[in-house]
């Protein structure tokens, strides 16, 4: 299978290219890092890249928190306009198979249970509560403490920042493309991806990268809030394998006219404090510092239920948390 990988020189995209080639597929990278003309917003460049392609793995995007609006136009241009140009070119070229790099950010907060009111969805946290160190959201009905759980793909979308809004829009665009062309689209909603080739010290680096950079400077990782925020940290090689599995599933079992979303996580919730401690231990110190600082737009807990991906496609993560952290500390 000949696969066009947009963003193929990036952190995740480069691992997807490697995984495709290891499985005997032909991976064609398309990335402005390799060629300034390889911009998904350029219809002519995209049309040329699609020549002879069987499927597309769309990884190209501007990533990050996107918590303000001053950079909203850039996020929308790169993520949503770029996706629209790509889909239009695919329709013209007759390419009908697509795997999209989605994101768990489309959910906003994760799943919560109130002892009285059952499953609830708290709204954005109050800045006054955050400033006072009250980080846990309460029940939106009675204010009681909540128990966080795993969020499944059928949870309502509730994007809390610009980046999240563009990732949800990408899915809607891909669903519209699938319906209008009888194409098949899968969206892999990545959780917190880490591993080799992760960018360092940029606005788009993940918390794992910032922690590792601090340790290499001889500084302790600075952990926001109380460090008890729950996330799902998944290794980049496992994410790359999920993309290859999804592409092969799209090829073997087409479901035209649909977009199916799959959470892509390790299935092992960890706290941000766990991450900082594991990296500090693997690096040999210094120990993390919990700062109590916070960022508006951050959610408290978001962890995945990846059962659908395991059941439908047979994918499972292979890199354990401790092993992955040791490797990442050295990478």
The helix (run of H) or strand (run of E) holding residue 55 is strand 55-58
The pLDDT of residue 92 is 97
Average pLDDT of the residues of the chain: 94
The pLDDT of residue 65 is 62
Q: How confident is the model at residue 238 (pLDDT cuts 50, 70, 90)?
A: very high
The helix (run of H) or strand (run of E) holding residue 329 is helix 321-330
pLDDT at 253 over 80: no
Q: How many domains does the chain have?
A: 1
Whether 145 is covered by a domain: the verdict is no
Whether 80 is covered by a domain: the verdict is yes
Whether 137 is covered by a domain: the verdict is no
Q: How confident is the model at residue 200 (pLDDT cuts 50, 70, 90)?
A: confident
The pLDDT of residue 204 is 62
Q: Which residues are CB-neighbours of 306 under 8 A, at least 6 positions away?
A: 262, 263, 264, 265, 266, 267
pLDDT at 143 over 70: yes
Whether 292 is covered by a domain: the verdict is yes
Q: What is the pLDDT of residues 292-330, one digit of tens each?
A: 999 887 899 999 899 999 999 999 999 999 999 999 998
pLDDT at 66 over 60: no
Residue pointed to by tokens 């070119």: 89
Q: What is the pLDDT of residues 144-180, one digit of tens each?
A: 999 999 999 999 999 988 999 999 999 999 999 999 9
Q: What is the pLDDT of residues 260-269, one digit of tens each?
A: 999 999 999 9
The pLDDT of residue 203 is 61
The pLDDT of residue 202 is 67
Q: What is the pLDDT of residues 80-112, one digit of tens each?
A: 999 999 999 999 999 999 999 999 999 999 999
The pLDDT of residue 298 is 86
The pLDDT of residue 258 is 87
CATH number at residue 12: 3.40.50.720
Whether 128 is covered by a domain: the verdict is no
Query: Residue 139 in contact with residue 116, Cβ under 8 Å?
Result: yes
Print the domain residue range for 201: 2-110+151-330
Whether 134 is covered by a domain: the verdict is no
Q: What is the pLDDT of residues 17-64, one digit of tens each?
A: 999 999 999 999 999 999 999 999 999 999 999 999 999 999 999 987
Tokens of 139: 């029940």
Burial class (CB in 10 A: 0-12, 13-18, 19+), 68: exposed
CA dist 251 and 146 (Å) reads 42
Q: Residue 182: how many CB atoms within 10 A of its CB? A: 11
Whether 91 is covered by a domain: the verdict is yes
Residue range 119-134: average pLDDT?
93
Residue range 136-144: average pLDDT?
95
CA dist 265 and 55 (Å) reads 23
Whether 53 is covered by a domain: the verdict is yes
Tokens of 273: 């404090």
């Amino acid at each position: 299978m000949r696969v066009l990988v947009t963003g193929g020189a990036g952190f995740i995209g480069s691992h997807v290219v490697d995984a495709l080639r290891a499985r005997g597929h032909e991976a064609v990278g398309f990335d402005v890092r390799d060629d300034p003309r390889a911009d998904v917003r350029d219809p002519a460049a995209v049309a040329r890249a699609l020549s002879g392609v069987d499927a597309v793995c769309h990884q190209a995007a501007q990533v990050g928190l996107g918590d303000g609006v001053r950079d909203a136009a850039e996020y929308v241009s790169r993520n949503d306009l770029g996706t629209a140009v790509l889909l239009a070119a695919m329709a013209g070229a007759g390419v009908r198979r697509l795997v999209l790099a989605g994101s768990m950010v489309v959910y906003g907060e994760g799943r919560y249970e109130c002892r009285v009111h059952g499953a609830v969805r708290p709204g954005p946290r109050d800045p006054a509560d955050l400033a006072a160190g009250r980080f846990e959201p309460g029940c939106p009905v009675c204010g009681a403490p909540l128990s966080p759980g795993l969020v499944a793909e059928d949870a309502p979308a509730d994007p809390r920042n610009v980046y999240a809004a563009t990732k949800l829009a990408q899915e809607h665009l891909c669903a519209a493309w699938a319906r209008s062309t009888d194409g098949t689209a899968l969206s892999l909603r990545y959780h917190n991806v880490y591993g080799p080739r992760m960018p360092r010290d940029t606005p788009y680096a993940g918390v794992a990268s910032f922690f590792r950079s601090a340790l290499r400077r001889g500084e302790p990782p600075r952990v926001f809030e109380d460090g008890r925020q729950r996330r799902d940290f998944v290794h980049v090689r496992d994410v790359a394998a999920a993309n290859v599995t999804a592409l092969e599933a799209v090829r073997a079992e087409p479901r035209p006219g649909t977009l199916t979303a799959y959470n892509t996580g390790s299935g092992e919730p960890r706290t941000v404090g766990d991450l900082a401690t594991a990296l500090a231990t693997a690096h040999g110190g210094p120990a993390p510092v919990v700062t109590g600082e916070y960022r508006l737009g951050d959610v408290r807990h978001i962890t995945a239920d990846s059962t659908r991906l395991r059941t439908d496609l047979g994918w499972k993560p292979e890199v354990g948390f401790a092993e992955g952290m040791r490797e990442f500390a050295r990478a």
